[in-house]
Amino acid sequence: MKRLALYFGEPYQRRKAAKKLVRDWYKEIGKPEYYRLEGGEITVSELGQHLGGPSLFSKEKIIRITQADEIEDEKAVVSLLLSHRYETERVLLESDSLSKRSSLYRGLSKEASTQEFSEPTKKNFPRFVNGILNDYGVRLTSGAKKWFTQIMELDLLRVEKEVQKLRLYREEGSEPLGRDELKHVVWTQGKDRLFDLFDDLFGGDVEGAIALLEESLRRGTDPYKIFYMLANEVRRNLQVKDLSSQGLSNSEISNRTGVYKWLVTKKKRQLADRSLEKLLSLLCRLHDEDVRMKTGRTKPEDALYRAVLALHPTAIER
CATH number for the region 125-183 comes to 1.10.8
**Sign of the dihedral through C-alpha 236, 240, 246, 248:** positive
Q: Where in the chain is the domain with CATH 1.10.8?
A: 125-183
The arithmetic mean of pLDDT across residues 18-27, rounded, is 93
Range with the poorest average pLDDT among 21-25, 26-30, 116-120: 26-30
Residue 316: its pLDDT value, please? 41
Average pLDDT of span 144-173: 84
Q: Which amino acid is at 40?
A: G
Phi, psi of 4 (to 5 degrees): -130, 130
DSSP-derived secondary structure for 65-92: EESGGG-S-HHHHHHHHHH---SSEEEE
Max mean pLDDT range (52-66, 157-171, 226-240, 303-317): 226-240
Residue 68 and residue 94 in contact, taking contact as beta carbons nearer than 8 Å? yes
Strand, helix or coil at 316? coil
pLDDT given for residue 315 in this prediction: 45
Helix (H, G, I), strand (E, B) or coil at 36: strand
Q: Which residues contact 135 (CB under 8 A, 6 or more apart)?
A: 163
- The answer to whether the beta carbons of residues 85 and 57 sit under 8 Å apart is no
Question: Taking the model in full, what pTM does it have?
Answer: 0.66
Q: How far apart are CA 125 and CA 267, in angstroms?
A: 20
Arithmetic mean of pLDDT, 11-21:
94
Which residue spans of the chain are classified as CATH 3.40.50.300? 4-117
Half-sphere exposure of 231 (CA within 13 A, CB side): 17
pLDDT for the residue numbered 62: 93
pLDDT at 317: 42
CB environment 204-221: b (16+ within 10 A), e (fewer):
eebeebbebbeebbeeeb
Residues 255-276 have pLDDT tens digits of: 888 787 878 888 898 888 888 8
Tell me, what's the pLDDT at 1? 60
Helix (H) or strand (E) holding 256: helix 250-257
Q: Is the model's pLDDT at 318 over the cut of 70?
A: no
Query: 3-state class of 208 per DSSP?
Result: helix
Round the average pLDDT of the chain to a whole number and report it: 87
Give yes or no for residue 29 having a pLDDT over 50. Answer: yes
CATH class of segment(s) 191-310: mainly alpha
User: Is the per-residue pLDDT at 133 higher than 50?
Assistant: yes
pLDDT per position as a tens digit, 166-215: 887 765 557 888 988 887 778 766 666 777 788 888 888 888 888 888 88
Select from 3.40.50.300, 2.40.50.60, 2.60.120.560, 3.30.465.10 the CATH code of 4-117.
3.40.50.300
Instruction: Give residue 142's Cα distance to chain centre.
Output: 21
Kindly report the number of other CB atoms within 10 A of residue 40's CB atom. 12
User: For a pLDDT cut of 90, what percent of the chain falls above it?
Assistant: 47
pLDDT in tens, 66-95: 999 999 899 999 999 999 988 888 999 999
